[in-house]
Amino acid sequence: MTESQGTYEQPPTYSAAVNPQWPPPPPHQPAMQPAPHRKKRTRGPVALLAAVAIVAAAVGGGTAYAFQELTGKDAVATAGSSTTVVPTSKKGDVAAIASAVSPSVVEVNATLAGGSSTGSGVVITSGGEIVTNNHVVSGATSIKVRTSDGKSYTAEVVGTDSSKDLALIKLQGASGLKAAALGDSSGVQVGDSVVAIGSPEGLTGTVTSGIVSALDRDVTVSTDEGQGQGQGGDGQWPFQFGGREFNGDTGSSTTTYKAIQTDASLNPGNSGGALIDSSGQVIGINSAMYSSGSQASSSSDAGSIGLGFAIPVNTVKSDLAKLRAGSDS
């Protein structure tokens, strides 16, 4: 910084997007108050560092920040490491986490050409944007969503990404919904406590808990339309792991992604629901479960044996712009 006739350059304003996956923060910065001349030498660098810190927070998620699209779309609550959805004194308390986050998890019922599919979804904006799994809504002719308070909405698919098994749907006529805080899955460690919320077998708002039992598991699911979980009420959850198929035929087209493994109980219907850390932040979207080969032959016997998988939330955040743009892939 250079000095010219007793004045100093003001910190730069950041009008361009820091990360193309997210729009820039809204350009409403509080007016900087001029400091007495004798303090310019000390306050100038501090002001510059403050401006840089704001940008760094937008990139790294160091503090809670609401990213908002310039088109006026709802803000997505993105939580940082210092953000808690539950009170600090209740951190890790399953009852407190369930109470805080359950309103942000919905049941998704898709009508398909050959049956139906039941799954879950996570509210990411108050106006009704919902993230779920692609295999929950793939091939749907209509979608109904039920919130935790029992209200029912019609939903439309905004965009899908079968390569990541993600989909974005939007509720019609919804407002004032409680959006979940999306955390940072890069900081997740094996042994971390987690809570899963979803609608297994249509049982809305079911809460289970456990730990992160492994990271970066290669999980393969179907990308074919009509392979949605729960199709026709048979409880199938097509899934491959280690070269074997579980819970039904995955079809001719599949996708593989790196997943968070958890021993929190997951069952058909949990797909698209939330995997939550001890602070109440969503760290993953539940997507698949493992059951033994003998169980796979009978849907009545199929169930969780403590091996469930979730798509890391950072994958969701990086894919959100594409989904909002109406991608259908």
Q: Which residues are catalytic?
A: 135, 165, 271
Burial (CB < 10 A; 0-12, 13-18, 19+), residue 313, is buried
Is the Cβ–Cβ distance between 157 and 171 less than 8 Å? Answer: no
In the chain, which ranges are continuous DSSP H helix?
A: 40-60, 94-101, 134-137, 293-296, 313-324
Residue in the structure block whose two tokens are 């339309």? 225
Side-chain-side CA neighbours of 188 within 13 Å: the count stands at 30
Phi, psi values for residue 117, rounded to 5°: -140, 130
Which residues partner with 222 through β-bridges? 254
Question: Could you give the CA distance from residue 52 to residue 166 in angstroms, rounded to a whole number?
Answer: 33
Nearest Cα residue to 168 out of 285, 312, 21? 285
Q: Among candidates 107, 113, 163, which has minimal Cα distance to 134? A: 163
Q: Which two tokens mark 202?
A: 């249509």
Concatenated DSSP letters of 97-159: HHHHHGGGEEEEEEEETTEEEEEEEEE-STT-EEEE-HHHHTTEEEEEEE-TTS-EEEEEEEE
